[in-house]
A = this chain, B = another copy of it.
Amino acid sequence: MLAATPKQDPERRIQLIEAALKILACKGYHSTKISDVVKAAGVSQGTFYWYFQSKEQLVLELIEDGKEKLIEVIAQGYRKHAGTEDDMVRSSSRLLTHLFTFADRNRELMALLLIKGQGADTPIREAVSQTWIAFEDAFKSNIQRAMELGMLPRTNDLPLRANILVCLITGVLSKWLFGPMNDVDFKSVYAPSEIAEETAKFEFRGLLG
């Protein structure tokens, strides 16, 4: 019988989430100990279990939240009118700048989604995958729309195109945010808009662009 969520101090909850996210992003799922999380949040061990059903549930929740925010960012890139090729690159560049800026401001979340989630157990890995599926779907709509507007060459393999595109974006995102060592504290030499522009150019024109 899952009773309605009991009364909780929302600030406490956020404290815990932030502490957890920080440690998860840094050490990964299995190396993140509840005892460290509560210590960082300044509450007791028991309190954690007042706010979250379990370690796994917390992470699942974190991922779910992240998914929604991420989709929201991409959804804003949906194209309404046709335009020139350069328009397209600029528009994509703008979308990616939003995405990269969001990612930069939510490094820990991105670390969890891009990297650390893979080290966890099946339910968590599945939640992470669902996130990227949703992410890919959002891009798929955008590509399809561009094809409908005659801005991109038609392909009968839209999913593959979208797939490759998402690979490119998540790949770039990972390295830009976390460097070769996947270090959350890594500081790239590129600004969000720079890396976004470069990625967008590559997106449309590849190495020859």
Nearest residue in B to A209 (C-beta to C-beta)?
B206
Chain B contacts for A145, CB-based, 8 A: none
Enumerate chain B residues within 8 angstroms of A168, measured Cβ to Cβ.
164, 167-168, 171, 202
Closest Cβ–Cβ distance, residue A1 to chain B (whole Å): 15
A positions within 8 Å CB-CB of B? 27-31, 85, 115-116, 118-121, 125-126, 129, 132-133, 136, 143, 152-153, 157, 160-161, 163-172, 174-175, 180-182, 190, 195, 198-199, 201-209
B182, B205, B208: which contacts A118 (Cβ < 8 A)? B182
Min distance, Cβ A103 to any Cβ of chain B, angstroms: 14
Q: Verify A160–B190 contact, CB threshold 8 A.
A: yes
Contact for A119 among B29, B167, B170, B175, CB less than 8 A: B29
The listed residue (B125, B129, B153, B169) touching A208 by CB distance below 8 A is B153
List of 7 A-B pairs having minimum Cβ-Cβ separation, nearest first: A119-B119, A167-B171, A171-B171, A30-B30, A206-B206, A204-B206, A205-B206
